Structure 1
Amino acid sequence: MKEIIKWLRGIEHLAGEMYHQAASIYSDDDVFKKFLEHNAEDEAWHYHVMGSAALFLDSEPDFTVAISIDKETNEKIINQISTIKNGLEQNTLSKDELINKIVELELSEWNDVFLYAVNFLKDKTSEFKYPAARIQAHIKEIEHFLRTVERKSDALQKIKELPPIWIENILIVDDEELITDLIKSLLNRSGNIDVAHNGKEAFKLIKRKFYKLIIADIDMPIMDGLSFYQNTIEEYPTSSNRFLFMTGDLSSERKAYFDQNRVKYLAKPMDISVLREEAAKIIISK
């Protein structure tokens, strides 16, 4: 496993350089540049994670693994990265071709080995459970970007078929069962979903489990949504950006509260596409 981690660190470094190079070339395309910069940041973070993995393995006897990195696989991945970098330098890659090659690279054996290593590590120590969740967000962000690009349905489908290394937890809080059932159905492919029917039930759940996305109504019996939110951020101060409120009564006071606390919200009735879009933004956020 130590050799695999060493190899992955090298590939992550090369991939990060490639994404930085591409971002500098597409500096006039704000959306594409942002996508490339996010990928560069992700590869730098993956490099750091593999460094942590190397330190962890240094204190452990080397583990027997099922695979090794052969010369042919190593050369294939390096050649894929080099082809992209050379194409960028020589201005012979169109944006469409670059996207295709990025998807091809992300779907290569590099990804398979990386997923194998992360799954292996998170089963050995809880230290790597958060990296696993963040790496899954990296894949989701690529998928999210491809949805905005025309003629990329094949690439999108291939990305969607990648095996998950982490499945996010989602909490839906509403006293109306019809609404919780509907939202659960709309987001059932986005993660494991739990339901609570008031803020008190929801607060008990978040003490037992980490939820990447919390969709909450406001007007509920026993404990309303805003009280639930206040209790949650007092207990977990960094949880504010994981909330998405929904309300049928978006008064000026409530809107001011949401804006002041930078909390996302939707007014009922909600467009299905907007609900999915806002939920996806929170799920892929880091």
Structure 2
Amino acid sequence: MREIIAWLQRVEGAAAEVYNLAAGRFSDDVEFSTFLRRLRDDECEHLNIARIAGGVMEKGVALPCIISIDGPEMSYIEDFLIFLRNRVKTGKVTKEGMLHYMITIESKECNDFLAYIVNWLYRNGYVQTTAAGQIGSHKKAMEEYLETIRWNGTLIHRLDAVSPLRGKKLLVVSDDNLIEDGLKAIYEGEDVTLESAVAKKDLLGMIGKGEYSAIVADADGPGLDLKDFYTEAVGLRPEMRQRLVLFTKKPEAHQFFFSNGLRFLGKPTSIQAIKKALQEVAL
């Protein structure tokens, strides 16, 4: 976790630098340069949040987390920002090219992980705003700006492709909030609805009434007989057989679900793996 926090500080600082350089590069386009400076200011605030998180951890406070980022993805994001900084510095990027690069930046897992950290810091009194205020408004600003650009529809289509679960509803089954908190961070600002419950009666009632694109459950939680719940849920809605994703530290302990071909994710697991699993079962 300390390694990821230190990496986030570098990435957010690099993104702020890129947007600042780009604002100067496109200074003749007042609207675009103003937008870039707004994004720069957002990234500076994100850097400050990452530093606060680092300071909290230095004091020995643990930050429980169900999500992680793979090492190769961390390296790719950092290298991409270095590449883009050099492109902007040497004047080798057009406005359209810059916008495509920006969509790439804003779709990366660093923003999802930062959203998780923001919400955790907020709940524990370290910051005064949630991810909706920090990350959600940042994404919204990008969407609103791209919608004003009528000369290239591929930009807004690319942004839409980043949110394949937009408009979907997910059901979370867990004794604690770790899975729900992780999913909230990953899908912040993407119009994905999360509903949760623990008691079997409540869950079965929700499944009977609601159209859930996926059910995400903690296979290790002590509060629910997951095998019993799964059997009854599939009886209510047979399509749920293909829509269940399980988190567990001990997949070997759940042979029943293995034999039924269900999807397992580790604890923690990469944001990329979570997105891939949910996209495959929910679409």
Residue identity in the other structure for 2:28: D
Unaligned 5+ segments in structure 2 are 167-182, 194-283
2:136 match: secondary structure: helix
Larger Rg: 1
Unaligned 5+ segments in structure 1 are 169-188, 192-286
**Alignment match, 2:159:** 156
**Alignment match, 2:129:** 130
**Alignment match, 2:104:** 104
Alpha carbons of 1:160 and 1:141: their partners in 2 closer, same or farther (altered >3 Å)?
farther
Alpha carbons of 1:113 and 1:26: their partners in 2 closer, same or farther (altered >3 Å)?
same
Task: Give the Cα–Cα distance (whole angstroms) in 1 for the partners of residues 67 and 187 of structure 2.
Answer: 25
Q: Once the two structures are superposed, what CA deviation does each residue of 1:258-280 show, in whole Å capped at 9, x if it has no partner? A: xxxxxxxxxxxxxxxxxxxxxxx
**1:108 deviation in Å?**
1.4
TM-score (normalizing by structure 1) = 0.52
Q: Once the two structures are superposed, what CA deviation does each residue of 1:148-171 show, in whole Å capped at 9, x if it has no partner? A: 112222133246667765999xxx
Alpha carbons of 1:96 and 1:167: their partners in 2 closer, same or farther (altered >3 Å)?
closer
**Alignment match, 1:43:** 43
Task: Give the Cα–Cα distance (whole angstroms) in 2 for the partners of residues 79 and 20 of structure 1.
Answer: 18
Task: Give the Cα–Cα distance (whole angstroms) in 2 for the partners of residues 166 and 99 of structure 1.
Answer: 22
Q: Once the two structures are superposed, what CA deviation does each residue of 1:44-82 show, in whole Å capped at 9, x if it has no partner? A: 111111122222223344345445554412220012112
Q: How does 1:1-286 map to 2 (within 5 A)?
A: 1-123=1-123, 125-128=124-127, 130-133=129-132, 134-150=134-150, 151=153, 152-158=155-161, 165=185
CA contact (8 A) 2:9 2:51 kept: yes
Q: Once the two structures are superposed, what CA deviation does each residue of 1:202-232 show, in whole Å capped at 9, x if it has no partner? A: xxxxxxxxxxxxxxxxxxxxxxxxxxxxxxx
Over the aligned positions, Cα root-mean-square deviation in angstroms equals 3.0
Aligned residue pairs, count = 170
Task: Give the Cα–Cα distance (whole angstroms) in 1 for the partners of residues 149 and 131 of structure 2.
Answer: 27
Task: Give the Cα–Cα distance (whole angstroms) in 1 for the partners of residues 49 and 130 of structure 2.
Answer: 7
